Structure 1
Amino acid sequence: MAKILDRLLLFVYSISVGILSVLAILLLTETVDLNLSRQQERGLIISLIIISAALFLLSIRFFYISIRRDRHALTSIDQRTEYGDIQISTDTIENLSYKAASRVRGIREVKTRIRITDAGLEIMIRAVVDGDSSIPSLTEEVQKQVHDHVQEITGIPVSYVSVYIANLVQSPVMKSRVE
């Protein structure tokens, strides 16, 4: 939600700065002549101060966004051993899950996603299967392989492995040629 709001604010900011830049260029080159009374001039100055303050606040917000570290991209699982600390990135666990799921015969395209919970890791697998295997037995094998492989390699408990079969591809049929 925050990213959508920031994108919307950046869009409004860009449009506002663009319009104000064009107006400033037109006024400074005297292409546009404003014949204003004292009352209109005072209202224009107050409006410009309010707009400038809003744009300044937006500039501060965008500056903060540009220098802060993105915590979501740096997610890892931290473990403490008797020898020191261990950090395993979620990308590493996704790659382990991918490797384990890809080894299962009948699985074609694999995508993985990891969620860290108090109970352990939740691993979501999205796969395309060939049309020659039983889907229930295939998904059960993927769940078992991913669960065991990730838990064995990382030492982190895996609480849940879900498999989503996105599509089915047919294996190419080879016709024998008789002469």
Structure 2
Amino acid sequence: MAKVMDRLLLFLYSLSIGIISILAILLLSGAIPYAISIEDERVVWFASLIIAGVLLLLSLRVFYISIRRSQSVQHSIDQRTEYGDIQISVDTIENLCLKASSRFRGMQDLKARVRVLESGLDITIRAVVDGERSIPVLTSEVQKGVHDHVEEITGIPVSNVSVYIANVSQSPSFKSRVE
């Protein structure tokens, strides 16, 4: 409810500032007649026109932000049990994915992304591998391990686990030194 009220107030603010800016531009351009008795009228006119233009641009931007549809990013997953409500943050699930995938030898530089879908969680793991093991075997093990670990710990169904291998790490070459 607060988000809707904030959007409404932002909409009204941007609309009123926009109307005031348009009136100021019309007054300063001479479209609406006015009388001013200031010695340096040209400087005041130019500065006022610039300020009114900036206010108009800012109000258009704020107006656009207030009417555009917000992208529904879900920061937590809500579950209801017989004892009450449970909220699990998406960051928690991402950390569980990283923990599960780091258990596999050969996985490095892990990153996880979790999307909440109607069918369940869609998990993407990005990793660099050492190249010592078969990539298809390693990725299928990681997929199964992450899937089972997240479902067991959170109780939330996992619909898909994708593993993206970004690169193969280069092992540092050490020259043997004989003395």
TM-score band, normalised by the shorter chain? 0.5 to 0.7
Could you say if the C-alpha distance between residues 59 and 138 of structure 1 is closer, same or farther in structure 2, counting changes exceeding 3 Å?
closer
Could you say if the C-alpha distance between residues 60 and 107 of structure 1 is closer, same or farther in structure 2, counting changes exceeding 3 Å?
closer
Could you say if the C-alpha distance between residues 174 and 55 of structure 1 is closer, same or farther in structure 2, counting changes exceeding 3 Å?
closer
Deviation, 1:108, is 0.6
SS across alignment from 2:42: coil
Alpha-carbon distance in structure 1 between the residues aligned to 2:61 and 2:171: 56
Partner of 2:11: none
Partner of 1:133: 133
1:163 and 2:163 equivalent? yes
- Where in structure 2 are the equivalents of 1:57-76 lying within 5 Å? 57-58=59-60, 61=63, 72=73, 75-76=75-76
Aligned residues: 139
Deviation, 1:118, is 1.4
SS across alignment from 1:32: helix
After superposing on structure 2, the runs of 4+ consecutive aligned residues of structure 1 that deviate more than 2 Å are 28-34, 50-65, 69-72, 170-179
Q: Unpaired runs of 5+ in structure 2?
A: 1-17, 29-37
SS across alignment from 1:131: coil
Deviation, 1:114, is 0.7
Q: Which amino acid aligns with 1:153?
A: I
Alignment TM-score, normalising by the size of structure 1: 0.62
Q: Which amino acid aligns with 1:32?
A: R
- Where in structure 2 are the equivalents of 1:147-158 lying within 5 Å? 147-158=147-158
Partner of 2:42: 32
Deviation, 1:172, is 3.2
Q: Unpaired runs of 5+ in structure 1?
A: 1-12, 35-46
Alpha-carbon distance in structure 2 between the residues aligned to 1:119 and 1:71: 17
Task: Name the Cα RMSD after superposition.
Answer: 3.9
Contact 1:131 1:171 in 2 (8 A): no
Q: Which amino acid aligns with 2:108?
A: R
Deviation, 1:123, is 0.3
SS across alignment from 1:162: strand
Partner of 1:145: 145
Could you say if the C-alpha distance between residues 33 and 90 of structure 1 is closer, same or farther in structure 2, counting changes exceeding 3 Å?
closer
Alpha-carbon distance in structure 2 between the residues aligned to 1:29 and 1:112: 66
Alpha-carbon distance in structure 1 between the residues aligned to 2:172 and 2:142: 23
Deviation, 1:29, is 7.9
SS across alignment from 2:132: coil
Alpha-carbon distance in structure 2 between the residues aligned to 1:31 and 1:132: 78
SS across alignment from 2:140: helix
1:113 and 2:113 equivalent? yes
Alpha-carbon distance in structure 1 between the residues aligned to 2:175 and 2:165: 29
The sequence identity of aligned pairs, in percent, is 58
